Amino acid sequence: MKMRVILPMFWLLCLPVTACTQTKDAVQPGISITKIDEAVPANDAYIVKYYVDKTNPGSEYETGSLHIIYSDKTEVVEKLRPRKKSTADNIVFNEEGISDPKVAGDKRTIAWTEQFDNCCTSYSIPLVLAIYRGGKNIVHIQQGLMVWGWMFCDGGKHVAAVWGTVHFSDIGDYQLYDTETGHMIDEVIAEKEVEGKNGTIHGLGPDDPAWAKELEKQQ
């Protein structure tokens, strides 16, 4: 079971602010786009290998760049965001690593989580879900809480993620996104009382969507 720590409200206010749009039922998470500097893979190329540089063998959270290698020999390298120094007036939470990379069933879409400093723990936590489908754009989704887990759906057309605070909260926010744009297309909060291994917990109910229940099984 992954360790979970409470993420204080003032830490959330320190996160980078991105524009959000409204849907009928919920507020969209923050979405930002970064560009690939080097050559991009051909339209018919597929991912044959990927790996993350290890900079600190003693930590699973501190890493170097993510390398994505395609069938046409193109290599895309996703580097960590440039580090900044904190000042007395501005505390900076830097990106420390790349974690949990996965390739979708289409073999062209890859996603991963980005680890950031956390003011109240000795280790970084995953706060951003990044998606790359070829071309120049990487989509970064930031909901405001920690990524508990995520998975691809429909061969890579969609990605599902569950977000929450870091210790002592069983209520997860399950969201489903379009991988092309990062736009949220469905959401469900796991706030129903269900029987778990250690008694009554908050979870999904029988009428909640299949994509969310499948992700819940993986947690």
pLDDT digits over 84-97, tens only?
776 777 766 788 99
pLDDT at 163 over 80: yes
- Encode pLDDT of 37-54 as tens digits: 889 999 999 999 999 999
pLDDT at 132 over 70: yes
pLDDT at 79 over 90: yes
In the chain, what percentage of residues exceed pLDDT 90? 56
Averaging pLDDT over each range in 22-36, 63-77, 204-218, which range is the top one?
A: 63-77
Q: Tell me, what's the pLDDT at 113?
A: 97
100 token code pair: 């949990």
Q: What whole-number distance in Å separates Cα of residue 61 and Cα of residue 33?
A: 23
- Encode pLDDT of 185-202 as tens digits: 999 988 766 655 555 567
For the chain, what is the domain count? Answer: 1
Whether residue 17 is contained in a domain is answered as no
Q: Tell me, what's the pLDDT at 92?
A: 67
CA–CA distance from 142 to each of 2, 8, 30, 130, 179 (Å)? Answer: 20, 16, 5, 9, 14
pLDDT band at 203 (very low <50, low <70, confident <90, very high): confident
Q: Tell me, what's the pLDDT at 107?
A: 96
Range of the domain at 197: 23-217
Whether residue 15 is contained in a domain is answered as no
Taking alpha carbons only, the member of 121, 118, 89, 164 closest to residue 15 is 118
Whether residue 18 is contained in a domain is answered as no
Higher pLDDT, 183 or 17: 183
Q: What whole-number distance in Å separates Cα of residue 83 and Cα of residue 106?
A: 34
Our CA angle for 135, 137, 138, nearest 5°, is 120
Whether residue 114 is contained in a domain is answered as yes
Taking alpha carbons only, the member of 157, 153, 97, 156 closest to residue 128 is 97
Alpha helices in the chain (DSSP H): 9-13, 210-217
Q: Phi, psi at residue 9, to the nearest 5°?
A: -65, -35
Taking alpha carbons only, the member of 97, 117, 197, 208 closest to residue 162 is 208
pLDDT band at 151 (very low <50, low <70, confident <90, very high): very high
50: β partners: 68
Whether residue 6 is contained in a domain is answered as no
Q: Where are the beta strands (DSSP E) in the chain?
A: 30-35, 47-52, 66-70, 75-78, 95-103, 110-116, 125-132, 137-142, 146-153, 158-164, 173-178, 184-189, 192-196, 199-203
Give the pLDDT mean for 136-147.
94
Alpha helices in 7-69 (DSSP H): 9-13
Whether residue 88 is contained in a domain is answered as yes
DSSP designation for 22: B
Whether residue 11 is contained in a domain is answered as no
pLDDT at 33 over 90: yes
167 token code pair: 């210790």
35: β partners: 137
Taking residue 12's Cβ as centre, other Cβ atoms within 10 Å add up to: 12
Q: Tell me, what's the pLDDT at 192?
A: 66
Whether residue 193 is contained in a domain is answered as yes
